[in-house]
Structure 1
Amino acid sequence: MLIRLFHTIKRAIQIRAALYFTVLLLSLCCWHSIANAQYFDLKDNRKHVTVPFKMIRDMIVIQVNINNKGPFNFILDTGVGLMLITDPKLVDSINIVNKRTLKINGIGDGEAYEAYVTSALDIQIRGLKSYDVAAAILKTDHFGLSNYAGIPIHGLLGYEFFNNLAVKIEFSDSTLSVSKAKDIRLYKKGTKIPMTVQDRKPYIHTKVTYTDGSKVDAKLVLDLGAGHALSLENAIVKHGLPSKFIAANLGLGLTGPVSGFLGRVKELDIGKFKIPNVITSFPQGDQYKGLAVKRDGNLGIGILKRFSVIIDYPDSAVYLKQGPDFTRPFEHDMSGLEYYGAGEDLNRIVISRVEPGSPADEIGLEKDDEILAINLKPVKNMTLEQIDNLFKSQNDRSLLLEVYHDKKKDEVVLTLKRRI
């Protein structure tokens, strides 16, 4: 469930992405009728395989070949119950012949989307072999993940990658170590957290302490594809909002925008680990009614990247070891800007939304303005993640922006403000 607990993706022709982005992917309506024993295994009787990944805007991106074509960039996402190809052009490039159409329902306001369902594909990942792995292919690219990431993104890979193997994720060196559960090298100082897999997604139990001091148990999806730290779906009705919060577009579900608020909880407890002042999304409305599994929210990569992680579906466990970023404070965007990569090389930075009352709004920046340089450095020489980090770097920090605004170039000083 790719949530980026920051904000919105809106759509015109290009994606309107935010500094924290959310794509909520839920179960596909006829998944169970098309998916039987779809999994990956190690080639050539190997015990361990190392798969490199790139960390891009809090997304784990691996390279995949399909039907001997590629490589293609796929986001690894435990919140996805079916391999999803988001780039419709792959229908032709990977020579898919047998396919049928289904409707995809999800979270958000709007109509369901149409997608093709393929027959089994030959998915090639370094050292791994796929067995009967099918996919859904969106007929229209509703998400614009390439614009959001600043590199071509072709789809999402979830349950099938994890269901037969144990996967160790080392964020410090951007590698996955994949093995059979019996062969996984456990952490000497790691902590085992019980996990259940329901409706093709992993769940763990945690404790959440709200800012008023109340502490509650929370069943959360362990969601690698969620770029936020924490999302609590029922909190507004049960506990209200924290004293300090901002209204936000939390992302784009399969059928439309997901609205709500951003704030903090006092503490999140996972096993023996206590994590303070966690930035949290609080969705509003009844967008989560009717889910197959009752839950309280999801735990995203904003938390998980603070650990070394082993996800072990076969033995129903996740192992956590404190990483070098464990104590780093949580920070949110301090500019009020949402933006995406545009142009043939995705290296033009176009503003998709300006939060009302934010620092960017106060200096007159507007939707469709283009950012040309930050502190005299052209943005074409920067990644989107580097720009993200600048905009959440320090309260009261001033940045010089060169922008294309009102049909002319202009220079403005943007002073960052911590808003939550």
Structure 2
Amino acid sequence: MKIIISSINKFFIVISIFFCFSNLGFSQNEFVIQNKKKSDKISFKLISNLIILPVEVNGVKLSFLLDTGVSKTILFNVSDTLKIKNTETIFLRGLGDKKSVEALKSRNNVFKIGDVTNFNQDLYAIYDSNLNFTPRLGIPVHGIIGFDLFKDLIVEISYSKKVITLTKPEKYKYKKCKKCERLNLEFYNNKPYINAEVTIEEKKIPIKLLIDSGGSDALWLFEDNSLGIKSSNNNFYDFLGHGLSGSVYGKRSKVKSLSLKSFELKMVNVSYPDSVYISQARKIKDRNGSVSGNVLKRFNVIFDYQNAMITLNKNGYFNDKFRYNKSGIELAHSGYMLVKEREGASVSSALNTNYKSQNATKIIINPRYKLSLKPSYVIVELRKNSPAEKTGLLVGDSVLSVNGKQAYQFKLQELIQMFYGNSGKLIKIVVSRNNIILAFEFKLEDLFK
């Protein structure tokens, strides 16, 4: 299993699960729609190009990442209230260069998403407290769901409206859409792949890509000189994310274009992970990489696994530029801190006997304060030779303010978004390091100019 966590376009989460055994084909466990229409719409949160769905597990309300790149349902940091039962121990291994992680396979769990229910859902529970999505996304994420949901239903995702529609296949009717494109899906280990075309240094190269809605980056490619898949000279080495088996590093660059039939996206962000971290992923025959959230969000998408088909219809995000983090800073939520806030001031008038005039008064300001818990953010990764590193910032610095505004006044993603601004933008940042307050400033730098 691999779990990649980073931020916004640069910040991404890629999750793919490679089990030590093969479990191909559709499961007997099924999601059914418990209403007369046999269809239901569910609102989701779009965080860093990722879909976060409300999911109820054994009566407990949780949030799950919707990920086409996983073949099994995963649950993290399991609490006793979930009543996990019927378990057996397995081991999962993923991206990174460390050992596999222990997990418990649990049967007969009840999953509910809107009016859609599975009364006999398998899940894989991981108790490692270090595997926690919340710090990197800034909102609670308790698990991941993918193939188990997609195999039973037509899944229509409106990234523009932030709504997912789940429909029983027999009840689904395709609408006429002259501007849509339909692509065939291929499946390996219950994960969907499509054929696409990428232009690198004026050469058009056909590629096979995993569709990975659980990754917030745009495109991953596996370098292969024999096919012409290689990074240009205009690249930089970077932290790509944190995997189940450790951190993952590689090169970031741009490709001239990515084509999905008639849809062509230009100057697309691409990452080339070092081969040592993706040994499991490269075992899939003919796979050249992954297409992820920063591409998928530019379409409204219909997944039809039973007919092995995906339908794309471009939306308002289609022409957005592919941006990236120009600061070199990776942030994470690091708990909460107590902040003393002023509630207001009571103003009273009192006779000032020091003045001769009986009308003279003095104003007494009596401020009232309250203590509040506010989010705390910390630098968890720092790109070598980046503007942030060169100015003196360090991993472990707690961010207190950015451009004159208290850090806790931002949501994590709002704070990260500031690092995706135009080249030359000035960033003033105040941090706490070993209880010492330090101030730094730097300008965002475009490495692709």
TM-score normalised per structure 1: 0.91
Structure-2 separation of matches of 1:116 and 1:381: 39
1:394 alignment partner, one of 422, 428, 432: 422
Structure-1 separation of matches of 2:251 and 2:270: 8
> Counterpart in 1 of 2:439?
411
Kindly provide the amino acid, as one letter, of the partner of residue 49 in structure 1. Answer: D
1:279 equivalent to 2:269? Answer: yes
For structure 2, the 5+ residue unaligned runs are 337-372
> Counterpart in 1 of 2:211?
222
Render the CA deviation track for 1:191-224: whole Å, top value 9, x for unaligned: 11111222111110000110x2111111001110
Structure-1 separation of matches of 2:193 and 2:24: 23
> Counterpart in 2 of 1:54?
45
> Counterpart in 2 of 1:165?
153
Render the CA deviation track for 1:54-74: whole Å, top value 9, x for unaligned: 1112221111111112x1111
Kindly provide the amino acid, as one letter, of the partner of residue 199 in structure 1. Answer: N
Structure-2 separation of matches of 1:304 and 1:47: 26
The 1:304–1:241 alpha-carbon spacing in structure 2 relative to 1, beyond 3 Å, is: same
For structure 1, the 5+ residue unaligned runs are 8-16
Name the larger-Rg structure: 2
1:313 equivalent to 2:305? Answer: yes
Secondary structure at 1:115's aligned position in 2? strand
The 1:305–1:34 alpha-carbon spacing in structure 2 relative to 1, beyond 3 Å, is: closer
2:278 alignment partner, one of 266, 275, 288: 288
The answer to whether the 8 A contact 1:103-1:113 is kept is yes
The 1:347–1:187 alpha-carbon spacing in structure 2 relative to 1, beyond 3 Å, is: farther
The 1:346–1:256 alpha-carbon spacing in structure 2 relative to 1, beyond 3 Å, is: farther
More strand by share: 2
Structure possessing the higher relative contact order (Cα contacts under 8 Å, 6 or more residues apart): 1
The 1:335–1:139 alpha-carbon spacing in structure 2 relative to 1, beyond 3 Å, is: same
Render the CA deviation track for 1:31-62: whole Å, top value 9, x for unaligned: 62998323312113423200110111222111
TM-score normalised per structure 2: 0.85
The 1:58–1:403 alpha-carbon spacing in structure 2 relative to 1, beyond 3 Å, is: same
Count of aligned pairs: 407
The answer to whether the 8 A contact 2:299-2:318 is kept is yes
Structure-1 separation of matches of 2:406 and 2:22: 45
> Counterpart in 1 of 2:100?
112
Instruction: Report the alpha carbon displacement of residue 258 of structure 1 after superposing the two structures with TM.
Output: 2.1
> Counterpart in 1 of 2:341?
none
> Counterpart in 1 of 2:256?
266
The answer to whether the 8 A contact 1:196-1:202 is kept is yes
Kindly provide the amino acid, as one letter, of the partner of residue 154 in structure 2. Answer: A
The 1:288–1:347 alpha-carbon spacing in structure 2 relative to 1, beyond 3 Å, is: same
> Counterpart in 1 of 2:34?
43
The answer to whether the 8 A contact 1:5-1:230 is kept is no
Percent identity for Structure 1 against Structure 2: 25
Q: Which moved more, 1:404-413 or 1:60-69?
A: 404-413
1:154 equivalent to 2:142? Answer: yes
Q: Which moved more, 1:50-59 or 1:109-118?
A: 50-59
Structure-1 separation of matches of 2:198 and 2:233: 16
Secondary structure at 1:108's aligned position in 2? coil
2:407 alignment partner, one of 379, 382, 404: 379
Structure-2 separation of matches of 1:237 and 1:5: 30
The answer to whether the 8 A contact 1:78-1:223 is kept is yes
Secondary structure at 2:121's aligned position in 1? coil
Aligned 1:9-408 pairs, distance under 5 A:
19-30=10-21, 32=23, 36-69=27-60, 71-87=61-77, 89-90=78-79, 92-182=80-170, 183-186=172-175, 188=177, 189-210=179-200, 212-235=201-224, 238-239=227-228, 240-289=230-279, 291=281, 293-294=284-285, 295-344=287-336, 347-408=375-436
Q: CA RMSD in A?
A: 2.3
Instruction: Report the alpha carbon displacement of residue 346 of structure 1 after superposing the two structures with TM.
Output: 8.0
Structure-2 separation of matches of 1:186 and 1:341: 43
Q: Which moved more, 1:251-260 or 1:395-404?
A: 251-260
Secondary structure at 1:357's aligned position in 2? coil
